[in-house]
Structure 1
């Protein structure tokens, strides 16, 4: 049975991603910063008929928590097939470039960029034991620098000094990681789940959690001929599904 670890998976897109991977027969380790909330999410999935899931406590901004999660998972499995770096934060509602606090910007980058890097580095050895390892970095369409410089883009006015740059940096890391792993069986991609109605945006998005998670799962299930080092975004590029960086 293939295995998957999802960070920030006790609710919203992460939780639905867990559900859909379970439907595909994966054994899912549901990462949650709060273990009690993670257990509650697991209990719900088990009540739905998915026994192959268990919680794992992991706070992506806490090095000790990441190390403990790696040790705990290593005691259970020798191979990890899928890593979904889903945990992320928005930061302040308003993020003007000239007045946003450095502290707030650092906090957003700490979760959205440095957390992803540290988690990936911590679990890469387990992923390397897989015959078909997949890394999915959950990004945002707002991370496209090309589109942010295009006045005709529908989200052109949606600027911010923390969240958008953090996702652009995550996209850049995805490219570097994919390049480093280019001669292996890894597929490393960034996925924009779309503007989805979640707690993250006070349920203002028009998209469904189910559709958003399906985009993430699609990248997690890529076959051997599937692409790597791509920025998937049905929202930014409905015809091709590939967003400009």
Structure 2
């Protein structure tokens, strides 16, 4: 039994516009599985799901983002200072705006997509040289060690580091982005972005959901109604979904 992170789900008033921004930002392609859903994933033969990329699913909702900072965000990788500067300029031309989340004087640049979802353009770091355009999915948390215990069992990714300040996981295949939990306060409001997890072929969704509950996950009612995915929250309340389609 195992689950794998396959996409970041982002809520948006205009899924097409936000999806187009992220596709152009990452150099990926657009598709759609139905009205109100825009999928962003690599081109050139990429077949979802693949550990080399955590894709982006933009889903339409009627509510706009509030001023509250998202607890989950994406960090983009760069290969040089020149690349970082060029990417920031290009992203602002695409509609990104500077964002102040209290970061102070740091070597990375904090921006927000056209609907205010924060993300970072990192300075070049050797540890992210082979991740692809998304270096990591960052999640604010109160207790990185507790998150390491839960997520280290919930998904089949390898735990690379755990301290009082952060926990770091990555696909056991050594490809794609990292998933990092950073100590940064307690979650207080529902987020605009969350992870979607997918069972492997032959694994049963409800069996996986029961396993997650035993690890400390709780059921979550977001008004989703009768859907093929299961909405849950981890022990700190971070929302995530277990998809029903296996591959």
Structure with the higher fraction of residues in helix conformation: 1
Higher relative contact order structure (alpha carbons within 8 Å, sequence separation ≥ 6) = 2
Query: Do these two structures clear the TM 0.5 threshold for a shared fold by scoring above it?
Result: no
TM-score between both structures, scaled by the size of structure 1: 0.29
TM-score between both structures, scaled by the size of structure 2: 0.29
